[in-house]
Amino acid sequence: MQKPAPIGVFDSGYGGLTVLKEIVNKLPQYDYIYLGDNARAPYGNRSFETVYHYTLQCVQWFFEQGCSLVILACNTASAKALRTIQQNDLPKIAPDKRVLGVIRPTTEVIGNYSESKSVGILATNGTVISNSYPIEIEKFFPNLSVTQEACPMWVPLVENNEYQSHGADFFVKKNLASIFGKDPKIDVILLACTHYPLLKEKIREYLPVGVKLVSQGEIIAASLEDYLNRHPEIEKKCSKGGKQLFYTTDSTEDFDNHATNFFSQSIKSLHIDLS
């Protein structure tokens, strides 16, 4: 039998670290490998073909490291690449391995947070255009009204360390005004991009009173725990040493300096070249 290996956690850049942080809190016993494709981030405005091609390349890299389970901790990659990878690629390249995303687990529970039965989804252009959230939510909460808003400037603000600046105020205010203009009944705002939790403080300043702000980290961690309980055949292939390794496709110095904001711990990353 194949040797147990770490669980892979992928994002286009730093955002997935907000998810990994919650996963490690909940499931500290496992080993993890994180890969940020920082050299090619952001993915949010890229075409389906490009996001699929980049994501598949990263997933294959995780498989080369021995990982049997890979989490796409990126909504854009989950929206644009996950289904094709699961349905077309895995059966051919790695039928015993699994790739999971962040959209499905979120849509399974999001309706439970809302009393008014109106939720707002803030995400990248790519995630919004894919319509993945409304389509998936409809399956679990058919009576929930779902309003989306693309916030194309938010990831660049976060990636460039401008999330506490006045520039961030401008764009946060603008996108929140727009989504509440479309549906004033919204009482839950979902941060459907793993970068957005860094803007939480700013978002709260402009959020109408009583509106709940939901980010995905804890939801994904709980769902992963449940998945591992239900799939002992995958669980036993995940190594348990409590270690985390970090890789980036760009500068390790930038990654280490920046990643602390997302992971609340200092990080020493390694570089890989995928191009």
In the complex, which residue's CB is closest to ligand DGL?
44
Instruction: Please give the distance of CA 128 from its chain centroid, rounded to a whole number.
Output: 14
In the complex, the smallest distance separating the C-beta of residue 82 from ligand DGL, rounded to whole angstroms, is: 12
Name the β-bridge partners of 118: 145
Of residues 55, 50, 114, 120, the one with CA closest to residue 89: 55
Binding mask 72-111 for ligand DGL (x = CB under 6 A): --xxx-----------------------------------
For ligand DGL, which is the closer residue by CB, 5 or 77?
A: 77
The answer to whether 193 is a known catalytic residue is: yes
User: Tokens representing 270?
Assistant: 């390694």
User: Tokens representing 56?
Assistant: 């598949």
Which residue out of 58, 67, 151, 193 is catalytically annotated? 193
Which residue out of 58, 67, 74, 151 is catalytically annotated? 74
Residue 273: which residues within 8 A CB-CB, separation 6 or more? 249
Among 146, 155, 189, 221, binds ligand DGL (CB under 6 A): 155
Among 6, 8, 15, 105, binds ligand DGL (CB under 6 A): 15
What is the H or E stretch that residue 214 is in?
strand 212-215
User: Tokens representing 87?
Assistant: 């349905």
Among 119, 146, 176, 193, binds ligand DGL (CB under 6 A): 193
Q: Give the span between the Cα atoms of 246 and 257, in whole angstroms.
A: 13
Active centre residues (catalytic): 74, 193
Binding site for ligand DGL (CB under 6 A): 11-13, 15, 41-44, 74-76, 124, 127, 155, 193-195
